[in-house]
Amino acid sequence: MRLRALINVTGARTYTFIAAMILVVLIFGYTYSLVRSFEVQTNTLTRVFAKFCAAATYPATRDEDVRYIFDEIIKDINFPIVITDPRGVPYTWKNVGEEISADDVSWELFVDTNPADPPEGTMSEIIGVVRHMDRSNQPVLMFDPVSGRFLGSVHYGEPAITSGLKWLPLASGALLAVFILMSYLGLRGIIVGKRRSIWVGMAKETAHQLGTPLSSLMGWVQILKEHSADDRTRRAVHEMEADIMRLTKIASRFGKVGSPPRLDKEDVVEIARSAVGYQKKRLPSLGKEVEIKEHYGNVPRTLVNMDLLEWAVENLVKNAIDAQDKSKGIVEVRTTYVPQKHVVSIEVEDNGRGMDQKSSKKIFEPGYTTRKGGWGLGLPLARRVVEEYHGGKLRLVRTTPGRGSLFVIEIPAI
């Protein structure tokens, strides 16, 4: 959990991001509410104007004062309006298009027009506009205030500003989505960069701290070799020398973290065999009865960094051994070539305790571990080695509580 404590330094930035998102959503909601309110008021005002036109059209033909008021109001109307006679034939209109002029309609054309089958041209276009407006707004009927005779209808549409406002929430929503996405990607980049810097810093520091005592130990082992008299001492020195070489290899691996490693054409089978061989040597000291079965298929050589890939395989095998909770544990390591994917596959399967769904989703998170005293670095490091340095994939293919797990490494073949 110690690494997790280091990573949590990004928590403040995460909370800031969440607070900013809430603020942006609230502003968006308030703006949308204002737009909707303005749209409703504009539509209400438009209908009031239409009703006034319907009420004033007939008196305006008889009273000069009413005609003046009518003309002044009509002049400032900014929404499309068409007035039709009792037959439904348009005889005047405003704001229905710059190219549609009432001057193009003669008296004869007006009288002869059948609204159900209008002639091609201006009249047909205006009637089409009327039908379109009626689908959105119920026309206002005009009647003679004295006789009650039906005089025609006022058809009206939405002001240009209302039509534009309809797109504003969508545009604002799209901008909000883009902003949230960009903010998320930015925050994720910060978190990933922070984690990467922690990883690299820890790895480099570990390699540095190991370097000095290893150099000293090499010197002491050399002195012991020169002064060892009996076979028992020489064997002990030999084992010490092997352990020092192992520690040197580990320090070298940590030193390569954070820098692009050199990739060479290597035999993946030999890398897997070496990783398994090291773990087999540790079995007697673990107090567990575990059998490691090896199944190596014929695979092509591929570009890898031997030290780092061997490290990743060792971590998987070690986890498989640690997961054993049965009297007879079995770990199987397989290498195969998958021509359909053009990848070399390394599988590590065990019959250990397995994991539940919740745990299986967290195993690659740095700092997550189910072992007491563990750092939770093994699987995250293995994934980093496989995916970032080799362009491959490391997946938990299958896990069942009480029945074990199956991990698969896939490396692109040459």
Residue 329 lies in a domain: yes
Please say if the pLDDT value at position 2 is more than 60.
no
Same domain, 279 and 146: no
Please say if the pLDDT value at position 376 is more than 60.
yes
For residue 156, what are the contacts with CB-CB under 8 A and spacing of at least 6? 46, 47, 49, 50, 79, 80, 81, 82, 133, 137, 139, 140
Q: What is the pLDDT of residues 397-412, one digit of tens each?
A: 999 998 899 999 999 9
Secondary structure of 129-170 in the HEC alphabet? HHHHHHHHCCCEEEECCCCCCEEEEEEECCCHHHHHHHHHHH
Residue 175 lies in a domain: no
Closest CA to 176 of 27, 34, 39: 27
**51-55, 131-135, 177-181, 340-344 — which is least confidently predicted?**
51-55
Residue 110 lies in a domain: yes
pLDDT of residue 332: 95
Please say if the pLDDT value at position 134 is more than 70.
yes
pLDDT of residue 171: 72
Q: What is the pLDDT of residues 179-232, one digit of tens each?
A: 777 777 776 766 666 666 666 666 666 665 666 676 777 777 777 777 776 777
pLDDT of residue 226: 74
Please say if the pLDDT value at position 59 is more than 60.
no
Residue 218 lies in a domain: no
Q: What is the pLDDT of residues 318-350, one digit of tens each?
A: 989 988 888 889 999 999 999 998 999 999 999
Q: Please count the residues of the chain.
A: 414
Q: What is the pLDDT of residues 242-300, one digit of tens each?
A: 777 777 777 776 666 666 778 999 999 999 999 999 888 888 777 778 899 999 998 99
pLDDT of residue 395: 93
Residue 190 lies in a domain: no
pLDDT of residue 328: 86
Task: Kindly state the average pLDDT of the residues 349-354.
Answer: 91
* Rounded Cα distance, 19 and 336, in Å: 49
Q: What is the pLDDT of residues 65-123, one digit of tens each?
A: 545 555 565 666 777 888 888 888 887 787 787 667 766 778 788 888 888 888 888 88
Residue 267 lies in a domain: yes
Which of 112, 135, 163 marks a domain boundary?
Answer: 163
Count CA atoms closer than 13 A to 319's CA, side-chain side. 28
Which of 121, 144, 163 marks a domain boundary?
Answer: 163
Neighbours of 358 (CB within 10 A): 7
In a 3-state reduction of DSSP, which class is residue 359?
helix
Burial class (CB in 10 A: 0-12, 13-18, 19+), 103: exposed
CATH number of domain containing 398? 3.30.565.10
Domain count, the chain: 2
Within the chain, how many helices (H) and strands (E) appear?
12, 11
Residue 102 lies in a domain: yes
Give the domain extent around 82: 11-163
Same domain, 269 and 145: no
* Rounded Cα distance, 70 and 92, in Å: 14
242 Rama class: left (phi>0) / alpha (psi -120 to 50) / beta: alpha
Which of 138, 163, 188 marks a domain boundary?
Answer: 163
pLDDT of residue 145: 73
